Chains A and B, each alone.
Chain A
Amino acid sequence: MAAVFFMVTMALYFAATVSFLALLVRRADALSTFSLTITAVGFATHTVALVTRMLTGPGASSPSIHEALSFFSWMLILVFLAVEFRHRLHVLGSFIVPLALVSLVSAAALPDTVPTLQPVFRTLWVHVTLSMLGTVGFAVAFVAGVMYLIQDGLLKSKRFNVLYSKLPALDFLDDLNQQSIVLGFPLLTLGIITGAISAEFARGSYVNWNPEQTWALVTWLFYFVVLVGRLTVGWRAKRAAYLTIIGFAGVVLTLIGVAIKSFGSVS
């Protein structure tokens, strides 16, 4: 059941991605309505897929990277729909929906059978959920950063094209960037703490400095510096955009590390 809904979701997100990308270069109200509708339908089937899997699947007690990525993708769409509902910002979909699709396709490609773990790993759900919520924050900051740099470049080079007219004001994107990190950072912090506690239960040590944990800590430290720099010495605007893009690269590397590990544990 869950698998069917999952596949349907993937198809819908794919269609939404194509039509949202077309919106970047075309002005068409019908196209944006279409994009939004299939995204919303996709979100509904995604929700069903996640819930049924949680209730019936093996993921209930200890989620795999597959579930984590699927949840990440679902959260991204949720954030997009929320921002869209409040600000009518269709163009955000052209950036977030493709990211959600990539994340969902990666989830599909990764093993969804959970490596057997001790029952004490029940806290893992908390760890994965919090870390993924933090990551969603960083992903939105990343998207806001990319959009910021594009709009900054268009304004500087005076290229007033379709994309220029669709992208919002620079300070809106900068605010979105800031809010995403302000929300994402504490969530990731809690995610890392609960992860360390889970590890302590499972293995008897909080950290064992595997590449994935190291990267997670480096990323955390990086965002800490970015956040402090922003609030104290004015690392905003263009600099913040660049930093959050670099930071998100760190996040992606961490996730790749987790993914490789999960492949390893399957074989």
Chain B
Amino acid sequence: MHIVVVGLSHKTAPVEIREKLAVPESRLGEALNRLCGYSGIKEGMLLSTCNRVEVYAVVEELEAGYSRIQEFLADAHLSVSSEQLTPHLYWQTGDRAVAHLFRVACSLDSMVVGESQILGQVKDAFEMALTHKTTGLILNKVVKKAITVAKRVRTDTRIAETAVSVSYAAVELAKKIFSDLRDKTVLLVGAGEMAKLAARHFIASGVRHVRVTTRTPQHAVALADRFSGTAVPFEQFREEMAAADIVLVSTGAAHYLVGSDDVQRAVKQRMNRPMFLIDISVPRNIDPAVRHVDNAFLFDIDDLKFRVEQNRGGRLQEAEQA
């Protein structure tokens, strides 16, 4: 018996491959059953997020197990052949597979190290596997342990601060554009965890007007309620952008939702009042060409992280000075 992980993540595969392999929640059960239908696969769990697709399994024979899982991954998607897939995959077994799961659950392997979403996603994947009875003694024990450790890591270490400090960096940057945030309007596009956190930070810093838009209107209404804001139909959000001083974008879309033209038009409608655009989506949802639009200031997740690093460096320097 071997415990293995086979998968790909933002570190090994471009978004074009990731999005093809991602398994929608509605089809997870079916996929799990199919996985465990392969001979030699004793237990299985499938973790599918926008940044990774991973199969955790217990197999009888290592080599055969690896190829079965690879077959399973390629099989689900007629558009991706096994050969296309291989260069993006990683395989681990035994201790190293377990260590990988722990790293993932603790958000050490995440694109934004310390983000809180991944732990929930691991829990969901595990529950889904439990529901379909595809896990057994070994995986149950390992995954439960990983979840417990990840929880402890969150509470005992400062890892989660990075995600928090990214939101903080966004607010701090906004204050270099707008001296008073109280009369400013935030438009939240999409409902990613990071964006919601950032929106909360903006509200805490005095922003009173929040508008929310998501692809699912009910979702937007619910979110708007939580932020005492208003929901905006998704189809119209580009036109609504002119009314927003701060635009926070974080959707699962794999393409640019906001282009240069949209921003240029918004800035013009705003009579050249500056706009602050934050793109927390991966892949990015705002065309990077927006950087060249006058009076529009676009920052993506890398820019914010860079700012966080700098803040940290600055604090170290100040500590040394003291």
Contacts and interface: CB of A to CB of B under 8 A. Distances in A.
A-B interaction: yes
Contact of A171 (B173, B178, B291, B306): B178
A239 B274 CA distance: 12
B191 to A, nearest CB: 27
B142 interface: no
A237 B176 CA distance: 14
Q: Name which of B291, B295, B299 has the most chain A CB atoms within 10 A of its CB.
A: B295
B297 A169 contact: no
A170 interface: yes
A171 B175 CA distance: 10
Given A155-B297, A156-B297, A158-B306, A237 B272 contact: yes
A235 interface: yes
Given A155-B297, A158-B303, A160-B307, A237 B273 contact: yes
A238 B295 contact: yes
A172 B310 CA distance: 25
Q: Name which of A151, A160, A233 has the most chain B CB atoms within 10 A of its CB.
A: A160
B177 interface: yes
Contacts of B271: 233-234, 236
B77 to A, nearest CB: 38
B131 interface: no
Nearest to B177: A170
Given A170-B274, A234-B272, A156 B177 contact: no
Contacts of B272: 234-239
B26 interface: no
B149 to A, nearest CB: 35
A215 interface: no
Contacts, number: 51
Contact of A160 (B178, B273, B310): B310
B291 A237 contact: no
B310 A168 contact: no
Interface in A190-242: 233-239
Contact of A151 (B176, B178, B294, B310): B176
Contacts of A160: 307, 310
Contacts of B273: 171, 234, 236-237
Contacts of A151: 176
B179 A168 contact: yes
Interface residues of B, number: 20
A121 interface: no
Contacts of B178: 169-171
A237 B173 CA distance: 17
Contacts of A169: 175-179
B177 A171 contact: yes
B198 to A, nearest CB: 18
A5 interface: no
Contacts of B179: 168-169, 171-172, 175
Contacts of B297: 155-156
Contacts of B175: 169
B177 A155 contact: yes
Contacts of A155: 173, 176-177, 297
Interface of B: 173, 175-179, 270-274, 291, 294-295, 297, 299, 303, 306-307, 310
Nearest 9 pairs between A and B by C-beta? A234-B271, A169-B179, A172-B179, A237-B272, A234-B272, A237-B295, A170-B177, A236-B272, A238-B294
25 contacts: A151-B176, A155-B173, A155-B177, A155-B297, A158-B299, A158-B306, A158-B307, A160-B307, A160-B310, A164-B176, A167-B176, A169-B176, A169-B177, A169-B179, A170-B274, A233-B271, A234-B270, A234-B273, A235-B272, A236-B271, A236-B272, A238-B294, A238-B295, A239-B272, A239-B294
Given A171-B178, A175-B179, 17 more contacts: A155-B173, A155-B176, A156-B291, A158-B303, A160-B307, A169-B175, A169-B178, A170-B177, A170-B274, A171-B273, A233-B271, A234-B271, A234-B272, A237-B294, A237-B295, A238-B294, A239-B294
